[in-house]
Chains A and B, each alone.
Chain A
Amino acid sequence: MIANSALPNRKMLTFISRRAPYGNGAAKAMLDMVLSAAVFDQQVNYVFMDDGVQQLRRGQEPAAIDAKNLSAAFSALPLYEVSNIFVDSESLQRRGLSPEQLVIDIIVCDSDKIAELIRQSDAVFTL
């Protein structure tokens, strides 16, 4: 990081994860962005929407396809002080998932909340 006292050192960044895990690298790439923003002490919102909610499904055994378990990393998010983690209720509902079937305790929200997070954020990343 380049130290420059004239710059703001903290922004609110929202990351909207919209892809299922394992089929491609998008979900992992988004997780890495979230962790990186957290390490650099940014105010992070992590939102799961559309197929992104499949990342949270319990019982994943990606070793079967020689992939690393992404959902295991989510339980480490509190260590990075990432606690504003949201899942879109409509995306869950359309995929027949209930909050009890998810790997972590997470804030179930509606699209108005996601719209509000976007409005409050300095920058928004989707992947």
Chain B
Amino acid sequence: MKFTIVVYSAPSSQAAWSAYQFTRTALDAGHEIYRLFFYADGVLNSSALSVTPQGEFDLTQAWQTLIAEHELDAISCVSSALKRGIIDTQEAARYERPGASLAAGMTLSGLGQLVDATLASDRVVSFGA
């Protein structure tokens, strides 16, 4: 089956880990992930700048690895992201910010991508806190 996973919560909530665990398990079971969509505080999962203390599970890194391994389409909602300081090089230049912060493998785009994903997927599963 084709899944879209919506993540509303920051990595500081277990809900973000649950989304990751669900995605991994669905892929292991042979399902397709049409899109990961990070929305509201969920965009913090796509930060390239977060540093996890040693000995703690690094969820943002884990997402990046999973996305690279399975070539997943991972989108961070652009309006949510800009507000929370998650910006790519293009937005950094446009708004004259000192640097980009969007993690590798993630793309900034609009809510239309969530509508598209809902149309294209058999199931939409949301994780919030």
List residues of A whose CB falls within 8 A of some B CB: 1-2, 4, 7-11, 13, 25-26, 29, 32-33, 36-37, 39-40, 42, 122-123, 125-127
List residues of chain B with CB within 8 A of the CB of A7: 119-120
Task: Tell me whether B128 is interfacial, beta carbon within 8 Å.
Answer: yes
B118 touching A1, Cβ below 8 Å: no
List residues of chain A with CB within 8 A of the CB of B114: 33, 36
List residues of chain A with CB within 8 A of the CB of B111: 32-33, 36
Query: Looking at chain A's contact residues, is the secondary structure mostly helix, strand, loop, or mixed?
Result: loop
How many chain B residues have a CB neighbour from A under 8 Å?
Answer: 18
Min CB gap A28→B, angstroms: 9
State the CA gap A4–B2 with chains docked (Å): 16
Q: Which residue of A lies closest to B83 (CB)?
A: A25
B39 touching A1, Cβ below 8 Å: no
Q: Are A11 and B118 also in contact (CB < 8 A) when A29-B80, A36-B112 are? A: yes
A32 touching B79, Cβ below 8 Å: yes
Min CB gap B123→A, angstroms: 8
List residues of chain A with CB within 8 A of the CB of B118: 11, 13, 42, 122-123
List residues of chain B with CB within 8 A of the CB of A37: 115
Q: Are A29 and B39 also in contact (CB < 8 A) when A36-B110, A36-B111, A126-B126 are? A: yes
List residues of chain A with CB within 8 A of the CB of B126: 125-126
Chain B 24-49, CB-CB to A under 8 Å as 1, else 0, gives 00000000000000011000000000
Q: Tell which of B6, B112, B128 touches A1, judged by Cβ atoms closer than 8 Å.
A: B112
List residues of chain B with CB within 8 A of the CB of A125: 6, 124, 126
State the CA gap A14–B6 with chains docked (Å): 15
State the CA gap A32–B112 with chains docked (Å): 11
State the CA gap A75–B94 with chains docked (Å): 33
Min CB gap B63→A, angstroms: 20
Min CB gap B10→A, angstroms: 12
List residues of chain A with CB within 8 A of the CB of B8: 29, 127
12 more CB-based (< 8 A) A-B contacts, given A1-B115, A32-B79, A125-B126: A2-B116, A2-B120, A13-B118, A25-B40, A26-B40, A29-B39, A33-B111, A33-B114, A36-B111, A125-B6, A126-B126, A127-B8
List residues of chain B with CB within 8 A of the CB of A40: 112, 115-116
List residues of chain B with CB within 8 A of the CB of A39: 112
